[in-house]
């Protein structure tokens, strides 16, 4: 693949190294002159020094022929503008780093391939290490105010054999996985041992919910 990476920080450099090892054709754009020189010496890739929000710089990077562009600077405004330009060139895959959670909806509305909040990703990675057996964090949304996670019902769970209508006011169940079958939650469905519940809850309620399992 022909890939353009915008931003030569630790993330951009690390990703470039991996992609180069996989034999992808990588072009990296970095605005800082000294940093660009350092990357040019270390990486087996074309490193351009310039502002990627300038269409000319992106043209110099052959954006018309690239298969994917990744905007990985620490500045959301720069990443947003770069993604907009990439869309105007019909780049097939556009991925952006997002630093501020409040900016995620803006990137989503743009319709790019994906946006990744690096802070949220780090929070999730560390929190997963703290999770108890039978629990798996799926994601955090709403500016990290809402947590989506899985909990497995055991023989010690306080909600065992209760019906959805008896517990739904305590938290929201988005779905039930029962013996590899997905079940839509309905009031009369009884919670059985081994069920995996997909739960959506405000972060401040998670600890209380954990005590039910």
Q: 122-139 pLDDT, tens per residue?
A: 887 887 777 778 888 888
Say what the pLDDT of residue 37 is: 95
Q: Which fold has domain 131-210?
A: Alpha-Beta Plaits (3.30.70)
What are the residue boundaries of the structural domains of the chain, listed by start?
A: 2-121, 131-210
Q: 2-121 sits in which CATH class?
A: alpha beta
**At residue 100, does pLDDT exceed 90?**
no
Contact 169, 119 (CB under 8 A): no
pLDDT band, residue 91 (cuts 50/70/90): very high
Model pLDDT for residues 166-211, shown as the tens digit of each residue: 887 768 899 999 998 999 999 999 999 999 999 998 888 888 888 8
- Backbone phi, psi, residue 115, to 5°: -130, 140
pTM of this prediction? 0.70
**213-to-127, 152, 163, 196 alpha-carbon distances in Å:** 18, 8, 15, 11
Contact 4, 66 (CB under 8 A): yes
């Amino acid at each position: 693949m022909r890939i353009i990476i915008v931003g030569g920080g630790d993330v951009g450099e690390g990703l470039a190294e991996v992609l180069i090892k996989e034999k992808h054709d990588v072009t990296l754009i970095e605005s800082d002159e000294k940093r660009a020189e350092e990357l040019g010496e270390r990486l087996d890739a074309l490193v351009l020094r310039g502002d990627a929000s300038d269409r000319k710089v992106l043209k110099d990077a052959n954006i018309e022929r690239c298969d994917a562009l990744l905007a990985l600077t620490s500045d959301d405004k720069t990443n947003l503008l770069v993604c907009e330009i990439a869309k105007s060139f019909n780049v097939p895959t556009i991925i952006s780093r997002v630093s501020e959670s409040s900016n995620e909806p803006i990137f989503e509305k743009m319709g790019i391939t994906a946006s990744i909040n690096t802070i949220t990703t780090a929070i999730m990675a560390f929190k997963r290490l703290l999770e108890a057996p039978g629990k798996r964090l799926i994601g955090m949304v709403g500016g990290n105010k809402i947590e989506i996670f899985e909990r497995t019902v055991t023989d010690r769970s306080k909600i065992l054999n209760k019906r959805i209508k008896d517990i739904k006011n305590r938290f929201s169940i988005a779905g039930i996985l029962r013996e590899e079958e997905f079940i839509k939650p309905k009031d009369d469905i009884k919670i059985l041992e081994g069920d995996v519940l997909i739960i959506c809850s405000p972060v401040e309620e998670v600890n209380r919910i954990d005590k039910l399992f």
